[in-house]
Amino acid sequence: MELHTALSSLLMPPFAPLVGLVVALLLYFFPASSPVAKLSLPLAMLCVLALWVCATPAFSGWLGQQLVSRSPVEPTVKPSAVVILGGGRYRDALTGGERLSVTSMERVVWAVTNAPRDLPLLVSGGRVYRDEKTSEAGLMAEVLEKLFSRPVTWRDNCSRTTAENAADSAALLHDSGVESVILVTHWWHMPRAAEVFARAGLQVQQMPVGSPGELLPRGQSGILLWLPSAGALLRTQIYWREILADFWYRWRPLPEKRIC
């Protein structure tokens, strides 16, 4: 998974524009009369402009809206279970202690607050990297049962990607006769997740955490929309990754149920 993450970073800001700047610097040292050297300044300007635009709230907001437009149509069938997708963890490098990330915790709280209490729960997420000790499903189940007194019926402890979330969860649910679910994940992850869960044979009612309306902090308007910020760059990276992953999933078959 480390290699997969590294390769995906090559296509996303800020890595791609920074690589372009390094290439422009190398071209600058070619002989001045060389056509290659003349490309250094235009390439550097293009990369700086791309990095600036990607770090603006205006661009990240626009990219988020493109994600929403890709959401699949929801069925009208009554759901029989709630599926909560893991969204990462924090791990202490010294003690090895693990806890849910803010993203995962938001999904758990959102499900507890908004999903029907009479529906059984499935939590989905395994150990993505080698050094992780507990599956994300295990961490979510512990929070649900200890903090919210909500029993967890199924745990998908093996999946590492959204596609594996879908394949493994569908296998568990189909064995119990469940064909329709409420899917809980963040709004920017929902289009890809809902699509792949539908391909796995489940009818999906979407329950996204948040909405595109939260794209911009209060007060960001006018010229502030075009001033770069670390927060906007992070959002751009997240949304761009979702768009790339959606295209990738459309060209690949679903994985088999993963055994861990």
Residue ranges per domain, the chain?
2-68+226-244, 81-209
Which of 16-20, 94-98, 150-154, 238-242 has the largest mean confidence?
150-154
Predicted confidence (pLDDT) per residue in 130-158, tens digit: 888 999 999 999 999 999 999 999 999 99
In the structure, what pLDDT confidence band is assigned to residue 2 with cuts at 50, 70 and 90?
A: low
Q: What are the tokens at 212?
A: 């595109």
Predicted confidence (pLDDT) per residue in 44-100, tens digit: 999 999 999 999 989 998 998 888 887 777 777 899 999 999 999 999 888 889 999
The reported pLDDT for the residue numbered 5 is 66
The superfamily CATH assigns to domain 81-209 is HUPs (3.40.50.620)
The reported pLDDT for the residue numbered 105 is 97
CB 93 within 8 A of CB 54: no
pTM: 0.89
The reported pLDDT for the residue numbered 23 is 93
Cα–Cα dist 233/87, whole Å: 19
Predicted confidence (pLDDT) per residue in 246-256, tens digit: 888 888 888 88
The reported pLDDT for the residue numbered 99 is 95
% of the chain at pLDDT higher than 70: 95
- pLDDT average, residue stretch 103-129: 96
Instruction: Share the mean pLDDT of the chain.
Output: 90
The reported pLDDT for the residue numbered 219 is 53
The reported pLDDT for the residue numbered 120 is 97
Which is nearest to 85 in space by CA: 99, 69, 105? 105
Which is nearest to 105 in space by CA: 87, 129, 119, 120? 87
Cα–Cα dist 157/69, whole Å: 31
Judge whether residue 11 has pLDDT over 80.
Answer: no
